[in-house]
Amino acid sequence: MPEGPALIITLVVVGFLLIAAEVFLPGLIVGTIGFLLLVTSVVLVFVGYGTSAGVLAAFLIGALTFTAFIVWLNIFPRTFIGRRLMLRTRQPADRTADERRTLVGETGEALTPLRPSGTARLGGKRVDVTAVGEFLEQGAAIEVVGADGLRVAVRRKDGLEPGAPPA
């Protein structure tokens, strides 16, 4: 069993390795053990070498941790394993919302009962919609009255509420 400086260096190295292993063994157990080993190494420096050496060790381990994390963020996505774990493409968030806004005023047919949400055919495409005002049955003619993000609000095409007298 190592003693003195060798023990402290061993604890630091094993602590960093366990924190790095947390990427592949999720659950915070291995990473927590690694963190505790780093804290233990700093405590041993405080006990064995005094306050100033302990503060210096804590600062160095903190700086090393921060630097290693920044390097990991920049290098890991380019590694063999990183390419397998991370997405390669980006999905534009507002493209879908813009497409939905162009549906306002369009008419279509409810493919499923809208109680209040369901599926409708608008412009030849299946779209998830939400009925406003009333539940609509399958096959009902509908009109898009609003689109907010991914939500498309529809109502009966004639605009009449059930039981309302015609104007």
Q: Are 22 and 28 in contact (CB under 8 A)?
A: yes
Least confident of 5-9, 41-45, 129-133, 147-151: 147-151
In percent, the amount of the chain with pLDDT more than 90 equals 56
| CATH code at 93-156 | 2.40.50.140
Q: Are 128 and 117 in contact (CB under 8 A)?
A: yes
pLDDT digits (tens, 9 = 90+) for 40-96: 999 999 999 999 999 999 999 999 999 999 998 899 888 988 888 887 776 655 556
For 104-133, what is the mean pLDDT?
A: 91
The predicted model scores a pTM of 0.53
Task: Kindly give the interhelix angle for 29-49 and 51-75, rounded to the nearest 10 degrees.
Answer: 150
For residue 160, pLDDT over 70 is answered with no
Band (pLDDT 50/70/90 cuts) for residue 141 is: very high
